[in-house]
Amino acid sequence: MPRARSTRTYRQTAAIPQEQGSGCFSGFTIIPLAVIFVSMILGSMALQTSPVQWDSMPDSNSAGLSPIFRPEVLHWADSIRKWASASNLDPNLVATIMQIESCGDPRATSGAGAMGLFQVMPFHFQTGENPYDPEINALRGLNYLARSLAAANGDARLALAGYNGGIGVIPRAEWTWHAETKRYVYYGLPIYSDAVNGINPSPAINDWYSNYGVSLCNQAAGRLGLP
């Protein structure tokens, strides 16, 4: 669930949870102290904004799944509802994760080793489990999402960051987050918001799709036998 991916012709914000939020920091240079000071202030202000609580959003705690998601993701609609119910999660949040991670391709694989619908890293699976089995993949991925949401006190934005960057990033100032985690939240939260508010078509999904999702969703469509 973090880091660079692509044995799937897809370079994106992928979720590979890592407990301490470690990942691919690169290209860092010495930054002037003034910039650091301003960044700290902005990060502090961002953390003090009102959190988006998933259980207070429209239809967020129901069995309702928004139709705004890509057809490749809606292919899994019944399973998403079932998995969300079993994990006590909003199906729209589950679908948002699937949208960004695999666009519904059960065989999606990243260069970092993440696998399946929810791009789960190998160390989350138990011996003998098939990481590409949708049921197993959902069990392990959504268990981590539920833990991330709990650590974020129900704040969907922070939960998305935790799923991508590791639960350890949740209490940290946002200026310390990896660029990938910031992108993940940048696209993920608006998609989730569009879903629970019934904004269809979703500008957020169209934005993500045009910038990151075309190859991934074409791959998923081919895998699923969709037109």
Catalytic amino acids? 101
Q: Is 58 helix (H, G, I), strand (E, B) or coil?
A: coil
Choose among 5, 28, 1: nearest CA to 15.
1
Q: Is 208 helix (H, G, I), strand (E, B) or coil?
A: helix
Distance CA 92, CA 60 (A): 7
Distance CA 162, CA 181 (A): 8
Q: Is 155 helix (H, G, I), strand (E, B) or coil?
A: strand
Query: What does the block give as tokens for 165?
Result: 């960057």
Q: Are 19 and 151 in contact (CB under 8 A)?
A: no
DSSP secondary-structure letter at 120? B
Distance CA 32, CA 157 (A): 29
Choose among 179, 3, 208, 189: nearest CA to 103.
208
Cα torsion for 7, 10, 14, 20, to the nearest 10°? 50
